[in-house]
Structure 1
Amino acid sequence: MIARILKLEDGVGCEFGLSKWVMIDRAMIETFAKATGDVVQVQTSDTLTKGGLENGPVAPGFLTLSLLSQMIADAVPRTEAEGTGINYGFDRVRFIAPVKAGSEIRGRFTLAKYAEPQPGVIEMQWNVTVEIKGEDTPALMAHWKTLRFERDTGALDKAG
Protein backbone atom coordinates (compact mmCIF):
# COMPACT_ATOMS: atom_id res chain seq x y z
CA MET A 1 0.00 0.00 0.00
CA ILE A 2 1.35 3.40 -0.97
CA ALA A 3 1.76 5.81 1.93
CA ARG A 4 -0.33 8.95 2.15
CA ILE A 5 2.25 10.88 4.15
CA LEU A 6 2.16 14.65 4.38
CA LYS A 7 5.80 15.06 5.44
CA LEU A 8 8.68 12.93 4.15
CA GLU A 9 10.26 12.54 7.58
CA ASP A 10 7.08 10.84 8.84
CA GLY A 11 7.25 8.24 6.08
CA VAL A 12 10.31 6.17 6.98
CA GLY A 13 9.40 2.53 6.40
CA CYS A 14 6.49 3.40 4.14
CA GLU A 15 6.07 2.80 0.45
CA PHE A 16 5.95 6.24 -1.15
CA GLY A 17 5.29 5.60 -4.74
CA LEU A 18 5.00 3.39 -7.75
CA SER A 19 6.07 4.74 -11.12
CA LYS A 20 4.29 4.35 -14.41
CA TRP A 21 5.31 1.42 -16.59
CA VAL A 22 8.28 2.13 -18.88
CA MET A 23 8.58 0.19 -22.15
CA ILE A 24 12.04 -1.26 -22.78
CA ASP A 25 12.21 -1.72 -26.52
CA ARG A 26 14.97 -2.89 -28.83
CA ALA A 27 15.82 0.67 -29.93
CA MET A 28 16.33 1.80 -26.31
CA ILE A 29 18.57 -1.20 -25.58
CA GLU A 30 20.67 -0.69 -28.70
CA THR A 31 21.00 3.07 -28.17
CA PHE A 32 22.07 2.61 -24.55
CA ALA A 33 24.52 -0.17 -25.42
CA LYS A 34 26.05 1.92 -28.19
CA ALA A 35 26.29 5.08 -26.04
CA THR A 36 28.00 3.25 -23.18
CA GLY A 37 30.04 0.77 -25.19
CA ASP A 38 28.23 -2.00 -23.28
CA VAL A 39 27.56 -4.15 -26.35
CA VAL A 40 27.36 -7.76 -25.19
CA GLN A 41 26.03 -10.71 -27.19
CA VAL A 42 23.08 -11.30 -24.84
CA GLN A 43 22.01 -7.68 -25.30
CA THR A 44 21.99 -7.68 -29.07
CA SER A 45 21.41 -11.26 -30.20
CA ASP A 46 18.25 -12.83 -31.58
CA THR A 47 19.62 -16.32 -31.00
CA LEU A 48 19.89 -18.59 -28.00
CA THR A 49 22.54 -17.34 -25.59
CA LYS A 50 24.51 -18.93 -22.77
CA GLY A 51 21.97 -17.54 -20.32
CA GLY A 52 19.20 -19.48 -22.04
CA LEU A 53 17.45 -16.39 -23.40
CA GLU A 54 16.12 -16.28 -26.92
CA ASN A 55 13.99 -14.16 -29.21
CA GLY A 56 15.60 -10.80 -28.79
CA PRO A 57 17.99 -8.64 -26.84
CA VAL A 58 18.13 -8.12 -23.10
CA ALA A 59 18.53 -4.68 -21.50
CA PRO A 60 21.87 -4.00 -19.82
CA GLY A 61 21.45 -3.84 -16.05
CA PHE A 62 22.80 -0.30 -16.06
CA LEU A 63 20.00 0.74 -18.44
CA THR A 64 17.45 -0.43 -15.88
CA LEU A 65 19.41 1.32 -13.12
CA SER A 66 19.62 4.57 -15.12
CA LEU A 67 15.84 4.70 -15.40
CA LEU A 68 15.47 5.11 -11.63
CA SER A 69 15.77 8.89 -12.01
CA GLN A 70 12.78 8.93 -14.36
CA MET A 71 10.84 6.53 -12.15
CA ILE A 72 11.37 8.39 -8.87
CA ALA A 73 10.34 11.68 -10.50
CA ASP A 74 7.11 9.96 -11.53
CA ALA A 75 6.49 8.12 -8.25
CA VAL A 76 7.58 10.38 -5.39
CA PRO A 77 5.99 13.81 -5.06
CA ARG A 78 8.13 16.88 -4.48
CA THR A 79 7.20 19.85 -2.36
CA GLU A 80 7.24 23.43 -3.57
CA ALA A 81 10.04 24.18 -1.10
CA GLU A 82 12.36 21.67 -2.75
CA GLY A 83 14.84 22.83 -5.31
CA THR A 84 17.52 20.60 -6.78
CA GLY A 85 17.61 16.87 -6.17
CA ILE A 86 20.73 14.80 -6.87
CA ASN A 87 21.86 11.20 -6.90
CA TYR A 88 24.06 10.55 -3.85
CA GLY A 89 24.96 6.95 -4.66
CA PHE A 90 24.01 3.36 -3.92
CA ASP A 91 24.77 1.22 -0.91
CA ARG A 92 23.54 -1.90 -2.67
CA VAL A 93 22.41 -2.82 -6.18
CA ARG A 94 21.39 -6.28 -7.35
CA PHE A 95 20.39 -7.18 -10.90
CA ILE A 96 18.06 -10.11 -10.29
CA ALA A 97 16.20 -10.95 -13.50
CA PRO A 98 16.83 -10.02 -17.14
CA VAL A 99 14.66 -7.42 -18.83
CA LYS A 100 13.86 -8.62 -22.34
CA ALA A 101 13.13 -6.24 -25.20
CA GLY A 102 9.40 -5.55 -25.28
CA SER A 103 9.06 -5.75 -21.50
CA GLU A 104 7.61 -3.03 -19.29
CA ILE A 105 9.18 -2.12 -15.96
CA ARG A 106 8.25 0.16 -13.08
CA GLY A 107 9.85 1.30 -9.84
CA ARG A 108 8.47 0.81 -6.33
CA PHE A 109 9.97 3.24 -3.76
CA THR A 110 10.03 2.77 0.01
CA LEU A 111 11.68 5.40 2.19
CA ALA A 112 14.23 3.58 4.35
CA LYS A 113 16.08 6.54 5.94
CA TYR A 114 15.55 10.27 6.29
CA ALA A 115 18.02 12.80 7.68
CA GLU A 116 18.68 16.53 7.59
CA PRO A 117 22.48 16.68 7.96
CA GLN A 118 22.49 20.47 7.64
CA PRO A 119 19.87 23.18 7.21
CA GLY A 120 18.24 23.01 3.80
CA VAL A 121 19.59 19.54 2.96
CA ILE A 122 17.54 16.36 3.04
CA GLU A 123 19.32 13.01 2.69
CA MET A 124 17.14 10.00 1.94
CA GLN A 125 17.71 6.34 1.28
CA TRP A 126 15.16 4.58 -0.89
CA ASN A 127 14.67 0.85 -1.05
CA VAL A 128 13.81 0.39 -4.70
CA THR A 129 12.38 -2.61 -6.47
CA VAL A 130 12.08 -2.55 -10.26
CA GLU A 131 9.27 -4.86 -11.30
CA ILE A 132 8.81 -6.50 -14.70
CA LYS A 133 5.20 -6.56 -15.87
CA GLY A 134 3.82 -10.10 -15.74
CA GLU A 135 6.86 -11.53 -13.91
CA ASP A 136 7.17 -12.63 -10.28
CA THR A 137 10.89 -11.91 -10.02
CA PRO A 138 12.00 -8.26 -10.01
CA ALA A 139 14.61 -6.96 -12.41
CA LEU A 140 16.52 -4.99 -9.81
CA MET A 141 16.64 -4.18 -6.12
CA ALA A 142 18.69 -1.29 -4.72
CA HIS A 143 19.36 0.90 -1.71
CA TRP A 144 19.62 4.34 -3.32
CA LYS A 145 20.68 7.55 -1.60
CA THR A 146 19.44 10.90 -2.82
CA LEU A 147 19.84 14.48 -1.65
CA ARG A 148 17.26 17.22 -1.94
CA PHE A 149 17.97 20.87 -1.35
CA GLU A 150 15.46 23.44 -0.20
CA ARG A 151 15.13 26.43 -2.48
CA ASP A 152 17.07 29.60 -1.72
CA THR A 153 19.07 28.27 1.26
CA GLY A 154 22.44 28.07 -0.49
CA ALA A 155 22.77 24.50 0.81
CA LEU A 156 23.64 23.14 -2.63
CA ASP A 157 26.65 25.47 -2.82
CA LYS A 158 27.85 24.32 0.62
CA ALA A 159 27.24 20.57 0.05
CA GLY A 160 29.99 20.15 -2.59
Structure 2
Amino acid sequence: MKTFQSYSELAACVGQEVAVTDWITVTQQQIDLFAEATGDHQWIHVDPQRAAQGPFGTTIAHGFLTLSLIPRFFEAAFTIAGARMGVNYGLNRVRFMAPVPAGSRVRARLMLMALEPAAPDGVQMTWQVTMEREGGDKPVCVAESLARNYGAAP
Protein backbone atom coordinates (compact mmCIF):
# COMPACT_ATOMS: atom_id res chain seq x y z
CA MET A 1 0.00 0.00 0.00
CA LYS A 2 1.24 3.45 -0.91
CA THR A 3 1.03 6.26 1.65
CA PHE A 4 0.90 9.84 0.44
CA GLN A 5 2.14 12.34 3.03
CA SER A 6 0.25 15.29 1.53
CA TYR A 7 -2.10 16.33 -1.24
CA SER A 8 0.91 17.90 -2.99
CA GLU A 9 2.61 14.52 -3.08
CA LEU A 10 -0.54 12.99 -4.54
CA ALA A 11 -0.87 15.84 -7.08
CA ALA A 12 2.57 14.95 -8.44
CA CYS A 13 1.05 11.65 -9.63
CA VAL A 14 -1.59 13.17 -11.93
CA GLY A 15 -1.42 11.38 -15.27
CA GLN A 16 0.26 8.32 -13.79
CA GLU A 17 -0.75 4.84 -12.75
CA VAL A 18 -0.61 5.05 -8.97
CA ALA A 19 -1.31 1.43 -8.05
CA VAL A 20 -2.14 -2.05 -9.20
CA THR A 21 -4.09 -3.87 -6.51
CA ASP A 22 -3.80 -7.45 -5.39
CA TRP A 23 -6.17 -9.99 -6.90
CA ILE A 24 -9.46 -10.68 -5.10
CA THR A 25 -11.85 -13.55 -5.79
CA VAL A 26 -15.48 -12.85 -6.66
CA THR A 27 -17.43 -15.76 -5.18
CA GLN A 28 -20.89 -17.10 -5.92
CA GLN A 29 -21.77 -16.26 -2.32
CA GLN A 30 -20.93 -12.58 -2.94
CA ILE A 31 -23.02 -12.65 -6.12
CA ASP A 32 -25.97 -14.19 -4.25
CA LEU A 33 -25.71 -11.67 -1.43
CA PHE A 34 -25.57 -8.82 -3.93
CA ALA A 35 -28.70 -10.21 -5.60
CA GLU A 36 -30.45 -10.26 -2.22
CA ALA A 37 -29.37 -6.72 -1.40
CA THR A 38 -30.46 -5.27 -4.76
CA GLY A 39 -33.36 -7.51 -5.76
CA ASP A 40 -31.61 -8.38 -9.03
CA HIS A 41 -32.12 -12.15 -9.21
CA GLN A 42 -31.57 -12.61 -12.95
CA TRP A 43 -30.73 -16.26 -13.65
CA ILE A 44 -27.38 -15.43 -15.26
CA HIS A 45 -26.22 -14.39 -11.79
CA VAL A 46 -27.93 -16.74 -9.35
CA ASP A 47 -28.94 -19.99 -11.13
CA PRO A 48 -25.82 -22.11 -11.74
CA GLN A 49 -27.72 -24.87 -13.55
CA ARG A 50 -29.43 -22.55 -16.01
CA ALA A 51 -26.33 -20.36 -16.36
CA ALA A 52 -24.30 -23.45 -17.31
CA GLN A 53 -26.42 -23.55 -20.48
CA GLY A 54 -26.10 -19.79 -21.06
CA PRO A 55 -23.60 -17.77 -23.06
CA PHE A 56 -20.84 -17.83 -20.41
CA GLY A 57 -21.17 -21.43 -19.20
CA THR A 58 -21.50 -20.32 -15.59
CA THR A 59 -22.95 -17.57 -13.43
CA ILE A 60 -21.44 -14.12 -13.69
CA ALA A 61 -21.20 -11.20 -11.28
CA HIS A 62 -23.60 -8.32 -11.69
CA GLY A 63 -21.95 -5.37 -13.41
CA PHE A 64 -22.86 -3.20 -10.45
CA LEU A 65 -21.26 -5.72 -8.07
CA THR A 66 -18.05 -5.38 -10.07
CA LEU A 67 -18.38 -1.59 -9.90
CA SER A 68 -19.01 -1.69 -6.15
CA LEU A 69 -15.52 -3.13 -5.62
CA ILE A 70 -13.93 0.24 -6.41
CA PRO A 71 -13.88 1.49 -2.78
CA ARG A 72 -12.31 -1.79 -1.68
CA PHE A 73 -9.57 -1.37 -4.29
CA PHE A 74 -8.93 2.24 -3.22
CA GLU A 75 -8.68 1.22 0.43
CA ALA A 76 -6.20 -1.53 -0.38
CA ALA A 77 -4.07 0.57 -2.73
CA PHE A 78 -3.28 3.83 -0.96
CA THR A 79 -3.82 6.06 2.03
CA ILE A 80 -3.35 9.78 2.57
CA ALA A 81 -1.65 10.61 5.86
CA GLY A 82 -3.70 12.84 8.11
CA ALA A 83 -6.90 12.46 6.12
CA ARG A 84 -9.93 12.40 8.36
CA MET A 85 -12.51 11.35 5.78
CA GLY A 86 -12.91 10.12 2.23
CA VAL A 87 -16.16 9.92 0.28
CA ASN A 88 -17.30 8.63 -3.08
CA TYR A 89 -18.46 11.58 -5.14
CA GLY A 90 -19.74 9.79 -8.22
CA LEU A 91 -18.86 8.45 -11.62
CA ASN A 92 -18.41 10.17 -14.95
CA ARG A 93 -18.26 7.13 -17.20
CA VAL A 94 -18.57 3.38 -16.72
CA ARG A 95 -18.28 0.52 -19.19
CA PHE A 96 -18.64 -3.21 -18.48
CA MET A 97 -16.47 -4.72 -21.18
CA ALA A 98 -16.33 -8.39 -20.22
CA PRO A 99 -18.10 -10.71 -17.77
CA VAL A 100 -16.78 -11.76 -14.37
CA PRO A 101 -17.58 -15.47 -13.99
CA ALA A 102 -18.15 -16.68 -10.43
CA GLY A 103 -14.84 -17.71 -8.89
CA SER A 104 -12.82 -15.25 -11.00
CA ARG A 105 -10.01 -13.20 -9.59
CA VAL A 106 -10.04 -9.49 -10.37
CA ARG A 107 -7.78 -6.54 -9.64
CA ALA A 108 -7.70 -2.84 -10.46
CA ARG A 109 -5.24 -0.49 -12.07
CA LEU A 110 -5.66 3.01 -10.65
CA MET A 111 -4.59 6.02 -12.69
CA LEU A 112 -4.97 9.48 -11.18
CA MET A 113 -6.43 11.64 -13.96
CA ALA A 114 -7.00 14.91 -12.06
CA LEU A 115 -6.81 16.45 -8.61
CA GLU A 116 -8.46 19.73 -7.66
CA PRO A 117 -9.30 21.56 -4.42
CA ALA A 118 -12.54 20.75 -2.61
CA ALA A 119 -13.58 23.16 0.14
CA PRO A 120 -13.08 23.43 3.00
CA ASP A 121 -9.83 21.47 3.32
CA GLY A 122 -9.84 18.69 0.77
CA VAL A 123 -9.33 17.53 -2.76
CA GLN A 124 -11.43 15.93 -5.44
CA MET A 125 -9.66 13.15 -7.29
CA THR A 126 -10.65 11.78 -10.68
CA TRP A 127 -9.46 8.21 -11.12
CA GLN A 128 -9.49 5.92 -14.11
CA VAL A 129 -10.14 2.50 -12.64
CA THR A 130 -9.44 -0.39 -14.99
CA MET A 131 -10.55 -3.72 -13.58
CA GLU A 132 -9.11 -6.87 -15.09
CA ARG A 133 -9.89 -10.55 -14.68
CA GLU A 134 -7.02 -12.94 -14.23
CA GLY A 135 -6.55 -14.71 -17.55
CA GLY A 136 -8.94 -12.34 -19.34
CA ASP A 137 -8.01 -10.70 -22.62
CA LYS A 138 -9.72 -7.35 -21.96
CA PRO A 139 -10.82 -5.30 -18.95
CA VAL A 140 -14.03 -6.32 -17.20
CA CYS A 141 -14.83 -2.74 -16.24
CA VAL A 142 -13.40 0.69 -16.92
CA ALA A 143 -14.77 3.51 -14.79
CA GLU A 144 -13.97 7.16 -14.19
CA SER A 145 -14.48 7.47 -10.46
CA LEU A 146 -14.64 10.69 -8.45
CA ALA A 147 -13.57 10.65 -4.82
CA ARG A 148 -13.14 13.41 -2.27
CA ASN A 149 -10.77 13.44 0.65
CA TYR A 150 -10.66 15.91 3.52
CA GLY A 151 -8.24 16.95 6.20
CA ALA A 152 -4.74 15.98 5.05
CA ALA A 153 -1.83 18.37 4.72
CA PRO A 154 -1.82 20.47 1.55
Tell me what 1:74 maps to: 76
Any residues of structure 2 matched to 1:1-160 within 5 Å, and which?
A: 7-46=9-48, 47=50, 48-49=53-54, 52-54=55-57, 56-75=58-77, 77-150=78-151
Report the residue type matching 2:56 in the other structure: L
Call closer, same or farther: CA 1:4–1:70 in 2, change over 3 Å: closer
Percent identity over the alignment is 33
CA distance in 2, matches of 1:125, 1:79: 15
Note the residue ranges of structure 2 that are not aligned, 5 or more in a row.
none
SS in 2 for 1:11: coil
Report the residue type matching 2:26 in the other structure: I
CA distance in 1, matches of 2:136, 2:22: 16
CA distance in 2, matches of 1:84, 1:134: 35
Contact preservation (8 Å) 2:3, 2:80: no
Matched residue count = 146
SS in 2 for 1:73: helix
Contact preservation (8 Å) 2:3, 2:79: no
CA distance in 2, matches of 1:130, 1:83: 27
Report the residue type matching 1:138 in the other structure: P
Contact preservation (8 Å) 2:4, 2:81: no
CA distance in 1, matches of 2:80, 2:123: 12
CA distance in 2, matches of 1:66, 1:146: 14
Contact preservation (8 Å) 1:5, 1:11: no
Report the residue type matching 1:124 in the other structure: M
SS in 1 for 2:105: strand
CA distance in 1, matches of 2:74, 2:20: 8
SS in 1 for 2:74: helix
Normalized against structure 2, the TM-score is what? 0.88
Q: What is the RMSD of the two structures over their aligned residues, measured on CA atoms? A: 2.0
Residue deviations 1:64-92 (CA, integer Å, cap 9, x gap): 111110011111x2222211000000000
CA distance in 2, matches of 1:148, 1:37: 31
Call closer, same or farther: CA 1:4–1:118 in 2, change over 3 Å: closer
Note the residue ranges of structure 1 that are not aligned, 5 or more in a row.
152-160
